[in-house]
Amino acid sequence: MLNIAPAGAASDLDGKTPGGVYLCQVGPAISCGACCGLYNIQHLSRENLTHLLKGRTQRFARVPRTIEAIDRFGEETLGAEGRHRPMKNFHHCPFLGLIGPQQTTVGCLLHPRADGNKGIDWRGLSYYGAYACATYFCPTCRELAPRYKRMVRQAVDNWYDYGLMITETGMLKTFFEQVEKRLERTVDATDLEGRPAAMAVVQRFLAIKHTWPFADPETFRPANFFFNQKEYAPPAIDFKAPGAETSRWAPVLTALWSNLADWQALCAAESFLDRMAGDLSAALAAPPLPPR
Ligand code: SF4
Ligand code: SF4
C-alpha cells in the first residue's frame, strides 16, 4: 500500500488509481492496511489493534532513521507482539502504525511522508520491498464497480470496519446489487447526501463481520485473504437445502463463514440480509433531508 497519501487527499488520487476510485486513504480516520497484513493477528479486535498501532507509532518516533535501527525496530516489534499468525503465509508488517496530524490514520511508518522520515522512503527495508509497497492495489480496486466504492467511502465511519470490508469484493457487489434490484435503478454516493438513515444502514452492513449471527464460531476468521491464491478462502458452505447453493446471497453467506445446518437456517440468514437490503433501499427511496 503506497498507496498512502496525506489524509483527505483521496479524491486527488482517483485518476491515478486502478478502477478510478482511491481506496487506501479516505480521510483523517478512515484508511486501510489490509494488504500489509493489518488484520492477520491473533486476538483480533479493534481495541487490540489500536493498542498495537499506537504503541508502534510511539516507539518508532524515537527510532533513529538508520537501516540498523529500523531493522531492529521491525524485529523487536514482531518478537514482542508474537509471530504466530492465523494465516501463516500472509505477512503482517510491523511498520504499520498511525499517521497523519492526529495520528488517527492507519498507515505506513516507513513512507516518505510519514512523521520523522523527512521525505526518505524507507519501505525498501520491509518484507515486500519499496516497489511492491508503492504499486500494489488489491482486487477491489479493479473489480468493484466505482459507484459501490464511492458508496462505501462516503458512508464508512471507522477504519477498522473499512479495512475488514473493503477487500470483500463479492460481499459488497452482492449487497449493493440487491439494493439496486429493489430500487430498480443504480445507486451512488450522491444518494447518501441528506439521508443519514441510509448512511446508517451502509455502516450496519460494513460492521456485519462482528454482528453476523450465523457464523461458525469454531472456524470464523474475519480477516480476508484476497490474493489470487485461495489458500485461506472460507470453506464452501455445505448447504443442506436442495438448490440453496444458488442463493442470491451466496457470496455473502460464504464470506461470512456461515454455518447453515438446514433449510430453516438458510431462510433465516437470507431474511437477515434481505431486511438490511430492504432497509437501505427504503432509506434511499425517501426524500433527502433539506440542507442545514
Ligand atoms: S487492501 Fe486495497 S484498499 Fe487496502 S490498502 Fe491495500 S490496496 Fe489499498
Ligand atoms: S512497509 Fe509495511 S506498512 Fe509500509 S506499505 Fe510496505 S507492507 Fe505496508
Q: Which of 97, 113, 137 is the last residue of a domain?
A: 137
Give the strand pairing for 105-108 and 30-31. Answer: unpaired
User: Mean pLDDT lowest for which of 4-13, 86-95, 132-141, 272-281?
Assistant: 4-13
- CA of 177 from ligand 2 middle (Å) equals 33
Number of domain units in the chain:
2
pLDDT tens-digit profile of 115-124?
999 999 999 9
Residue in the structure block whose three cell numbers are 518508532? 60
Distance in angstroms (rounded) separating the CA atoms of residues 269 and 249: 9
Ligand nearest to the CA of 152: 1
Position 95 in a domain: yes
Q: Are residues 81 and 210 in the same domain?
A: no
**How high is the pLDDT of residue 11?**
62
- In contact, 175 and 169? CB cutoff 8 Å: no
Please, which pLDDT band fits residue 7 given cuts at 50, 70 and 90? very low
Atom of ligand 1 nearest to the CA of 33: 5
Determine the 3-state secondary structure of 155 from DSSP. Answer: helix
Determine the 3-state secondary structure of 198 from DSSP. Answer: helix
Q: Which of 137, 152, 170 is the last residue of a domain?
A: 137
Highest mean pLDDT among 57-61, 87-91, 224-228: 57-61
What pTM, to 2 d.p., does this model score?
0.94
Position 291 in a domain: no
Q: Are residues 122 and 151 in the same domain?
A: no
Cβ atoms within 10 Å, residue 210: 12
- Domain span holding position 60: 10-137
* From 108, 125, 127, mutation site for ligand 2 pocket: most ligand atoms within 8 A of C-beta: 108
Atom of ligand 2 nearest to the CA of 122: 1
Q: Which cell is 22 given?
A: 482511491
Regarding the beta carbon of 34 and ligand 1, being less than 6 Å apart is answered: yes
Q: Are residues 71 and 122 in the same domain?
A: yes
Position 292 in a domain: no
Q: Are residues 112 and 149 in the same domain?
A: no
Atom of ligand 2 nearest to the CA of 132: 6
